[in-house]
């Protein structure tokens, strides 16, 4: 028996050595993401008494998947570039639901790296939050991580709710672990970020969608329930199905519908690309309408209860993230048209009978501007449902990276849409919402200026967050060039304006400029590089007879704090 024990011990040692070699090979090959987490996993146990886990991130570290379990049962899974060496920034995870319990955190990392994760009642970097060097001052950005598509913005019970695609675990995203971020506001400009509205569940990651108020309790979740309709994405099968979550506590928490998914068209459509449901109530037919991106365009569905959906029609030619709404033509409510657009600024004007959209225009575009990668800066926009004053206000994802920051991407400033007759025909016009005035600080006002006069005055205003409005008269064949820190933002020609007379409005923030020409007939979004250039806004016109009839410049306060306003005009 002693000899047998010796042979078993030798065999056991060989097996252990082989297993260690295998685990080392797996780690070196970077295959951990495709193998059970236990192969390369280390663990740490923490008794939760605080709200947050603060997690150190290394920008060059490999993205790995980590698990939180309680009493051996998995509770949550998330990816992170956990810093093994130097720490570039910190992310945080709200662990309030585990208060008073011991959690086991496991993942492919060293004990040293796991040991640097700590719990706290504050997020790491709380003192500098919203004061970071390259954080925009009046364009919405998240506390930490990545943000993209706007989801289901809505006015509900006295406040605006903004949702978006959130990856709170780093500044490079993983589509298999997206959340629905959530923020609220009283005025569309000052936002307060809340905990995520939706996280990953058994059907997958909650991708883009929309929100509605179920006033008649059609779904059976309660009268006036706030209902989110979204795509669930399974990161293993890549299947995309449509699901519902609802809130009966004024949008504080959301519960998944037990009958999810409510719509699965993958087989019928012959593709997994079935996503981004835009849902709204259509009063003439007393039915809910869903516009869903499928393969090569937008499909239309009807429902009486938000749960059973019937296919109606399909419109080819748009891609992803539909927004669909009706607007009066030239402010005449007796003459209205429908606008359909996808992820990009491309749109069609037409009519809608509750089941079919009939285009009455060619493909048009309401915005222009590419980022440094050549992509449209404005993408995946959505308009607010149930606006209290009837305006059609939209927010869009601004595809811009803020260098060196613990967050990435931004939301462009909210714009109001109008449908107006122009010299080129019926067009969708976008202008900044009037609530921007709540961010104005010091005001500079001048009139009857040449370009030389204007630049002398503008030279006294240092670069920084600004809002500029001007009325200009251009001589025939002249043009106006607008520059900021040496970069050309836009050029306006005589022919762009009505007999050379028109307006321009400019928003300048960290890393972005938005320019609105002649009441939104042109809407230009430009990425601004990080720079210490002391040059601010400059205006060039070629002919001496061209003038700025009025020129108003406002220094902007931060949307994150209400600063004292100095409104003394300067002339």
pLDDT at residue 73, as a whole number: 96
Residues 514-562 pLDDT 10s: 999 999 999 999 999 887 777 899 999 999 899 999 999 999 999 997 4
Would you say 252 and 184 are in contact if contact means Cβ atoms under 8 Å apart? no
pLDDT at residue 40, as a whole number: 57
What is the helix (H) or strand (E) element at residue 268, kind and residue range?
helix 266-269
Residues 84-136 pLDDT 10s: 999 999 999 999 999 999 999 999 999 999 999 999 999 999 999 999 999 99
Is residue 456 pLDDT above 60, yes or no? Answer: yes
Is residue 468 pLDDT above 70, yes or no? Answer: yes
φ, ψ of residue 349 in degrees (nearest 5): -100, 135
State pTM to two decimals: 0.90
pLDDT at residue 535, as a whole number: 86
Euclidean distance between CA atoms 197 and 178, whole angstroms? 11
Euclidean distance between CA atoms 480 and 539, whole angstroms? 7
pLDDT at residue 534, as a whole number: 79
Residues 280-302 pLDDT 10s: 999 999 999 999 999 999 999 99
Average pLDDT, the chain: 91
pLDDT at residue 116, as a whole number: 96
Would you say 530 and 403 are in contact if contact means Cβ atoms under 8 Å apart? yes
φ, ψ of residue 207 in degrees (nearest 5): -85, -165
Would you say 192 and 183 are in contact if contact means Cβ atoms under 8 Å apart? yes
Give mean pLDDT, residues 443-462: 96
Nearest to 64 by CA among 97, 42, 87, 94: 42
Nearest to 280 by CA among 411, 178, 392, 428: 392
pLDDT at residue 566, as a whole number: 34
Helix, strand, coil percentages (3-state) for the chain, rounded to 5, are 15, 50, 40
Euclidean distance between CA atoms 433 and 423, whole angstroms? 24
Is residue 26 pLDDT above 70, yes or no? Answer: no
Catalytic residue among 124, 149, 218, 518: 149
pLDDT at residue 324, as a whole number: 98
Active site residue 149: yes
**E strands, 306-436, where?**
310-316, 323-329, 332-341, 346-352, 357-359, 364-365, 378-383, 392-398, 407-408, 410-411, 415-422, 425-432
Euclidean distance between CA atoms 180 and 268, whole angstroms? 28
Is residue 569 pLDDT above 90, yes or no? Answer: no
Give mean pLDDT, residues 39-68: 92
The lowest-confidence range among 26-30, 59-63, 191-195, 294-298 is 26-30
Percent of the chain with pLDDT over 90: 88
pLDDT at residue 530, as a whole number: 80
Task: Starting at the earlier edge strand, list the strands of the sheet with 118-120.
Answer: 89-94, 52-57, 118-120
Percent of the chain with pLDDT over 70: 91
Confidence of residue 346 (pLDDT cuts 50, 70, 90): very high
Euclidean distance between CA atoms 401 and 410, whole angstroms? 8
Going 434 to 438 to 440 to 445, the CA torsion angle's sign is: positive
Is residue 217 pLDDT above 70, yes or no? Answer: yes
Pairing of strands 145-156, 407-408: parallel
Would you say 541 and 451 are in contact if contact means Cβ atoms under 8 Å apart? yes
Euclidean distance between CA atoms 501 and 497, whole angstroms? 6
Residues 331-342 pLDDT 10s: 999 999 999 999
Give mean pLDDT, residues 470-493: 95
Q: Please report, for residues 165, 183, 374, the alpha-carbon distance to residue 195 in angstroms, rounded to integers and kept in the order given.
A: 13, 8, 33
pLDDT at residue 39, as a whole number: 35
What length is written for the chain? 571
Give mean pLDDT, residues 409-418: 98
Residues 247-257 pLDDT 10s: 999 999 999 99
Euclidean distance between CA atoms 144 and 118, whole angstroms? 17
Write the CB contacts of 467 (distance below 8 Å, at least 6 apart in sequence): 432, 436, 439, 440, 505, 506, 507, 508, 553, 554, 556
Is residue 54 pLDDT above 50, yes or no? Answer: yes
């Amino acid at each position: 028996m002693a000899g047998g024990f010796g042979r078993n011990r030798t065999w056991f040692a060989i097996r252990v050595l082989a297993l260690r070699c295998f685990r080392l090979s797996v780690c070196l090959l970077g295959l951990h993401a495709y193998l059970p987490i236990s192969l390369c996993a280390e663990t740490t146990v923490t008794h939760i008494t605080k709200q947050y886990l603060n997690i150190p991130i290394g920008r060059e570290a490999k993205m790995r998947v980590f698990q939180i379990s309680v009493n051996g049962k998995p509770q949550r899974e998330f990816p992170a570039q956990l810093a093994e060496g130097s720490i570039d920034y910190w992310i945080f995870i709200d662990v309030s639901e585990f208060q008073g319990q011991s959690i086991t955190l496991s993942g492919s990392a060293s004990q040293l790296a796991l040991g640097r994760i700590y719990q706290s009642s504050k997020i790491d970097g709380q003192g500098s939050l919203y004061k970071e060097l390259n954080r925009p001052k009046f364009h919405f950005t998240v506390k930490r991580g990545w943000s993209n598509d706007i989801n289901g913005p809505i006015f509900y019970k006295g406040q605006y709710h903004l949702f978006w695609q959130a990856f709170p675990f780093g500044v490079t995203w993983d589509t298999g672990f997206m959340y629905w971020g959530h923020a609220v506001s009283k005025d569309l400009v000052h936002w307060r970020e809340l905990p995520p509205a939706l996280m990953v569940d058994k059907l997958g990651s909650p991708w883009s969608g929309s929100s509605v108020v179920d006033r008649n309790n059609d779904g059976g979740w309660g009268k006036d329930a706030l209902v989110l309709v979204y795509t669930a994405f399974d990161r293993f099968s890549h299947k995309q199905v449509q699901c519902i979550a609802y809130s009966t506590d004024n949008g504080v928490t959301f519960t998944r519908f037990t009958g999810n998914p409510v719509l699965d068209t993958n087989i019928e459509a012959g593709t997994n690309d079935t996503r981004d449901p835009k849902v709204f109530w259509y009063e003439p037919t007393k039915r809910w309408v869903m516009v869903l991106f499928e393969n090569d365009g937008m499909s239309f569905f009807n429902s009486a209860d938000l749960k059973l959906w019937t296919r109606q029609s399909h419109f080819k030619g748009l891609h992803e993230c539909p927004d669909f709404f009706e607007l009066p033509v030239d402010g005449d409510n007796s003459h209205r048209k429908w606008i359909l657009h996808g992820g990009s600024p491309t749109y069609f004007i037409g009519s809608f009978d509750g089941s079919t959209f009939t285009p009455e225009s060619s493909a048009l575009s309401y915005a222009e501007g590419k980022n440094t990668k050549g992509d449209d800066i404005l993408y995946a926009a959505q308009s607010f449902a149930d606006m209290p004053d009837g305006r059609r206000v939209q927010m869009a994802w601004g595809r811009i990276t803020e260098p060196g920051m613990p967050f990435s991407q931004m939301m462009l400033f909210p714009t109001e849409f109008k449908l107006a007759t122009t010299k080129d025909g019926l067009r969708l016009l976008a202008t900044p919402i009037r609530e921007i005035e709540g961010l104005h600080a010091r005001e500079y006002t001048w009139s009857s200026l040449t370009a030389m006069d204007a630049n002398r005055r503008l030279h006294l205003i240092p670069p920084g967050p600004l809002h500029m409005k001007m009325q200009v008269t251009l001589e025939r064949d002249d043009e106006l060039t607008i520059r900021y820190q040496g970069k050309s933002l836009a050029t306006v020609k005589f022919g762009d304006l009505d007999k050379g007379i028109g307006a321009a409005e400019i928003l300048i923030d960290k890393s972005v400029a938005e320019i609105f020409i002649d009441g939104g007939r042109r809407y230009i979004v430009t990425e601004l590089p990080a720079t210490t250039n002391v040059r601010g806004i400059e205006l060039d016109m070629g002919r001496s007879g061209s003038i700025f009839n009025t020129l108003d410049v406002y220094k902007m306060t931060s949307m994150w704090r209400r600063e004292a306003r100095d409104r003394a005009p300067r002339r």
